[in-house]
Copies of this chain bind each other. A is one copy, B any other.
Amino acid sequence: MGEFELLAKLRARLPQAGPRVELGSGDDAAVTVPGGATATSVDAIVDGVHFRREESGLGAIGRKALSTALSDLAAMGAEAGEAYVVLGAPADLDEEGFLALLDGMLAVAAATGTTLAGGDVTRAPALTLAVTVVGHAVSAGAFVSRAGAEPGDVLVLTGEIGGAASGRLLLDDPSLAEAVPADTAARLRARQLDPTPRLRSGRALAEAGARAMIDLSDGLAGDAGHLAQASGVALEIDAGALPLAKGVAEVAAAAGRDPLRLAVSGGEDYELLAALPADRLADASTAIGEAAETTLTPIGRVAAGEGAAIRLPGGEPLEAEGYDHLAGS
């Protein structure tokens, strides 16, 4: 099957384009009428670097490629709009494999209101997906960048952390699954293989007045450092307040790891960390409740200074470890 036949087959599966898309996939470029302001982010995942093809399955790889790209839009408080996908295909990816990847992406696109508006397919030595996503807001000022946190702000975190890193441990050593019930182990593995972009939560936090926001792709410790640096402030995080995913403590213990350290060092939870004026915390909690996507937990505060420190209840700092996608720590 040639490239053109394949592209025609892929395009035939695309649902109707979203309201901003005037001309979708199949021409030299897609044409959109954005309205206000746009947020654009690119993200790539490569077999052997970010995932293992035989471990994930092609549908989950397609979902993760789009979900992790959309997570950056969630961190801006953007409404998801369009996605453009480059697929680097190794010689052994057949038509069925292409369609499984596409169906994975289409499932996330449907769940998030994203239009797959264009793409390119090329040969490549390893399966590679590079995804560009475009999100929308009424104006540039409605987006929430990493800069803008101010001393006195409260730090909030959506959902729970440590799940993706624990899932990585379970995938690398299946015997660890004996430490938790089967459904808990399955949920932790899914946090690693099939993350959810917190788009509704991101918009709710933006509307509630978040002054700075970032998504957790590199781990709370590292990403808090990025937000602190961009905002020119210090972040003080209470380790005792951190919401760990169910089963993280047991899996970490079975692996001989400290659960808190695993949770703050482990990347790919794709939760959102935001700085809010303290008097907006109640509004933000209400908005997150109405978004009905996940929970919101206050985990610390913004102060004058620099850097991000995570402190144990006794006051001593919790040192993070490095994180490498397929190494689990």
Contact = CB atoms under 8 A, between A and B. Distances in A.
B46 A122 contact: yes
Contacts of A126: 124-126
A169 B217 CA distance: 46
A88 to B, nearest CB: 6
Interface stretch (A77-85, A184-192, A248-256, A257-265): A77-85
A17 to B, nearest CB: 12
Contacts of A124: 46, 49, 126, 128
A313 interface: no
Contact of A84 (B34, B42, B49, B117): B42
Interface stretch (A68-76, A98-106, A239-247, A303-311): A68-76
A312 interface: no
A31 B123 CA distance: 32
B140 A31 contact: yes
Contact of A130 (B34, B125, B130): B130
A236 interface: no
Interface of A: 22-23, 26-34, 36-46, 48-50, 72-73, 75-76, 78, 82, 84-86, 88, 117-120, 122-126, 128, 130, 132-135, 139-140, 143, 145-147, 213-215, 230
Q: Which 8 A-B pairs have the closest CB atoms?
A: A29-B39, A29-B41, A130-B130, A28-B75, A132-B132, A22-B140, A86-B130, A28-B72
